[in-house]
Amino acid sequence: MRPAQAQPGASDAAQARVRDVWGQFRSRFMAPEGRIIDTGNRNISHSEGQGYGMLLAVNAGDRQSFDSLWAWTRRSLRRPRDHLTAWRWRPNAQHPVEDLNNASDGDLMIAWALLRAASTWNVPEYQEQGVAIGRDILRLLVRNAGGLTVLLPGARGFERRESVTINPSYYCFPAIRALAAAVPDPAWVRLAADGLQILRAARFGRWNLPPDWLTLARSDRRLSLPENWAPRFSYDAVRVPLFLGWAGLGQEPAVQSAAGFWADPAHNHLPAWTDFSNNGVSPYNASPGIAAIAGFSASVSGRGLRVPAAAQAPADPMPDYYSGVLTALVSLARRDSGADFW
């Protein structure tokens, strides 16, 4: 797996783009107190957004913003009995944190950002904090199911006697690699290897795509689509090809199939999702953030694919929080993987 960090050969233009994109994202979605605002979801904040913000800030060299983001996260989302973070904070609520359950993708991102900050700015405290989160991820979120090592989406609510529920987009392979180096344990290797095995088997619909949510049977490892989520490749699963390509795994089936889906000439637009129950696609265009992932997937797939030209230069690359963060993450992934921009 290719190291998920800026290499000495990373171009000045790519790093300048990272700084520019972070500046745009910060000005739109970061509050003065260090809270990332999800403008498309009633202005809530969540651990995912804080982790993404911290990762973007440290990669852009913005120490002041990073410290502000981490201080707000610790103050507002810290759980009382471990080093993980509550998944959601609601503004103007009597109790902004109503649910202390965590979200594994947020904790992975926060830990990765802390480890990167420790190295970038030589701050041992950041290293200690990132390691502490990594240990609790192993302790509370990594489980054995059917002989496979899996990542639970959260510490509570995803394990049943017969099965576990998995979110494939929570497998951020570059973050797992960084944590494996900082918190040595063979469980990380098993988690990554078995995660790839699951993704290679989790292929649904006409385009053989990974789903947003997945059920893994303990008895026979059978993969199926859970009934309480829409059977789609959509706003969660679009991150699967991003994280694989970022880790240098552009030849994985999930990247190849996603690139082929978005470049399929049968579409007269760039779809945001497909429904596996009928192979229908969204009647509207994908957001600029998803379009950025489509272009990145095409670049790292090695198939010479191109997404529709209209997706390559959106008028506004950050119309809302989620589109903005995907656009910003793609700028990091392109820099780290050496993938060409448009």
Please report the pLDDT score of residue 306 as a whole number.
80
State the CB neighbour count (10 A cutoff) for residue 284.
Answer: 11
Please report the pLDDT score of residue 340 as a whole number.
57
Structure-derived torsion over alpha carbons of residues 44, 45, 46, 51, reported in degrees to the nearest 10:
150
Token pair of 176, please? 């797992």
Q: Cα–chain-centroid distance for residue 295? A: 17
Tokens 């000045």: give the residue. Answer: 12
Kindly give the parts of the chain with pLDDT less than 50: 1-8, 341-342
Would you list the domain boundaries of the chain? Answer: 12-337
Please report the pLDDT score of residue 341 as a whole number.
43
Distance CA 11, CA 337 (A): 11
> What's the CATH code, domain 12-337?
1.50.10.10
Distance CA 255, CA 118 (A): 31
Residues 203 and 253 sit within 8 Å (Cβ to Cβ)? yes
Beta strands in 174-289 (DSSP E): 214-217, 223-224, 232-233, 274-275, 280-281
Instruction: Count the alpha carbons within 13 Å of 31 in the hemisphere toward its beta carbon.
Output: 17
Q: What is the DSSP string of 294-311?
A: HHHHHHHHSS-----GGG
Please report the pLDDT score of residue 338 as a whole number.
77
For residue 168, the 8-state DSSP code is G
Please report the pLDDT score of residue 315 as a whole number.
78
Of 167, 170, 176, residue with least CA distance to 213: 167
Q: What is the DSSP string of 97-141?
A: -----B-HHHHHHHHHHHHHHHHHHT-HHHHHHHHHHHHHHHHHT
Residues 90 and 149 sit within 8 Å (Cβ to Cβ)? no
- Active site (catalytic) residues: 48, 105
Could you report the per-residue pLDDT of 123-157, keeping only the tens digit for each?
999 999 999 999 999 999 999 999 999 999 999 99
Residues 289 and 326 sit within 8 Å (Cβ to Cβ)? yes
Beta bridge partners of 209: 204
Could you report the per-residue pLDDT of 280-293, keeping only the tens digit for each?
999 999 999 999 99
Distance CA 289, CA 128 (A): 33
Task: Please tell me whether the overall predicted TM-score, pTM, comes out greater than 0.85 for this model.
Answer: yes
Distance CA 291, CA 140 (A): 35
Number of H helices, E strands in the chain: 11, 10
Distance CA 178, CA 9 (A): 20
Amino acid letter, 143: R
